[in-house]
């Protein structure tokens, strides 16, 4: 069996594509990796929230799926919109890495709680900006764009005291030595899908290839968690630029999820926690979304979208 994998060209994206390729090769497939540049890779001088988030890191890969130039696209699951274009679907989720955010600094053991008003923290995420403003209102926040290597260079040369990144990328790129702190999940709850790889295909792909890809890549516990998170995100209609957060975890054969939304300035934080059976993962995500709406989330969402 021959399979073409579409991926963005950053070192992290290539790591993920190669990881998927290795799993497919181990099953006997012949694999080719195809590099595809996305809009999000080209526009680096604007904040993500200012250039629109729909398909920012995925649209060009999806075009290649439609045109059958690639068989599967490898994404960071957190980059995928809650609703996919017609005819496309997620067929597998890779086993999730630690989903935490981490504080990256050249200063060992730096603590957010000890930073003064002159400290500068870099992030391009509206969620992280809002959480910093909510929990640590003293620190200065400066937008930072680019791949992980670019951000590390900016940390060293452009006056940042620290930057916030997902542990998964830091781990995969080998920057552990610069982790000053692991940010607590109950405060810095991650973006939906953070830490997992998602495999997207066109539903015109042969059944044989679909079954093969799913069998070699999909991690069932991760899939259950991300189905809950993505159902939550879809109900809220939250995009990459909306500060929505959600994390589902499986323990003792139950799935628990913490999800919510936070105002752009950190002024309002609405959150909910619930537990259900693993079989009801998507229902759990929907229930949490409805609770968020009941607590004022609908009005907050409208305010955020009117501002962005």
Catalytic residues: 79
Is 183:104 a contact under the CB 8 Å cutoff? no
* 3-state DSSP helix/strand/coil % of the chain, to nearest 5: 40, 25, 35
Instruction: Centre a 10 Å sphere on the Cβ of residue 165 and count the other Cβ atoms it contains.
Output: 25
Is 20:36 a contact under the CB 8 Å cutoff? no
Nearest-angstrom CA–CA distance, 72 and 200 = 6
H/E stretch holding 187 reads none
From the list 227, 157, 161, 140, the residue with the least C-alpha distance to 192 is 227
Residues 37, 39, 41: CA angle, nearest 5 degrees: 60
Q: How far is CA 143 from the centre of its chain?
A: 18
Instruction: Centre a 10 Å sphere on the Cβ of residue 61 and count the other Cβ atoms it contains.
Output: 25
From the list 112, 135, 109, the residue with the least C-alpha distance to 122 is 112
H/E stretch holding 128 reads helix 126-135
């Amino acid at each position: 069996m021959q399979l073409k994998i579409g991926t963005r060209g950053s070192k992290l994206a290539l790591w993920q594509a190669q990881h998927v390729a290795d799993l497919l090769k181990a099953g006997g497939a012949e694999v080719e990796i195809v590099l595809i540049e996305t809009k999000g890779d080209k526009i680096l001088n604007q904040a993500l929230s200012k250039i629109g988030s729909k398909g920012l890191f995925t649209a060009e890969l999806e075009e290649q799926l439609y045109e059958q130039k690639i068989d599967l696209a490898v994404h960071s699951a957190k980059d995928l919109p809650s609703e996919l274009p017609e005819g496309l679907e997620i067929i597998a989720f890779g086993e999730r890495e630690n989903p935490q955010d981490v504080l990256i600094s050249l200063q060992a053991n730096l603590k957010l709680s000890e930073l003064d008003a002159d400290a500068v923290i870099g992030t391009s995420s509206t969620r992280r900006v809002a959480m910093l403003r909510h929990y640590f209102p003293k620190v200065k926040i400066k937008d930072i764009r680019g791949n992980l290597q670019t951000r590390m260079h900016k940390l060293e040369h452009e006056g940042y005291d620290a930057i916030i990144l997902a542990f998964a990328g830091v781990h995969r790129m080998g920057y552990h030595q610069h982790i000053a702190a692991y940010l607590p999940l109950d405060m810095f709850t991650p973006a939906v899908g953070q830490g997992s790889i998602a495999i997207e295909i066109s539903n015109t792909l042969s059944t044989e290839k679909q079954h093969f890809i799913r069998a070699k890549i999909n991690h069932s516990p991760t899939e259950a968690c991300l189905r809950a998170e993505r159902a939550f995100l879809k109900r809220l209609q939250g995009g990459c630029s909306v500060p929505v957060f959600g994390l589902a975890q499986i323990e003792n054969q139950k799935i628990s999820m913490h999800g919510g939304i936070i105002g752009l300035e950190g002024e309002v934080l609405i959150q909910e926690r619930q537990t259900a059976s693993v079989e009801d993962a998507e229902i759990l995500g929907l229930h949490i979304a409805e609770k968020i709406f009941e607590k004022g989330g609908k009005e907050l969402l409208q305010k955020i979208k009117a501002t962005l």
